[in-house]
Amino acid sequence: MTKEEIIEMARQAGFFVREDEAYSPSSQEDHELTPYLRTFAKLIAERECEKFCAVLWQLHDSYSLTSDSNAIRARGQE
């Protein structure tokens, strides 16, 4: 994952981005940042899961793996 991709995910999660650096969305207390951090973590996890599933797909082209990959992706959408 590139720095630009990480910064874009931070932006999507609601963080303020200036000069390729992400900052807190406001002067919130740490506990108020939890929703932003959860969103950011979910975006990263989804991205990594997609990459992981793509590698598995390339290594093993089987029905059971396809079903497992789809199940993993579906869980990420919850």
Q: What pLDDT digit, counting tens, does each position of 2-50 carry?
A: 888 888 888 899 888 888 777 777 666 666 778 888 899 999 988 888 8
Does residue 61 register a pLDDT over 80? Answer: no
The pLDDT value recorded for residue 72 is: 64
The span from the CA of 23 to the CA of 59, in Å, is 39
Question: How much is the pTM?
Answer: 0.60
Residue type, 72: I
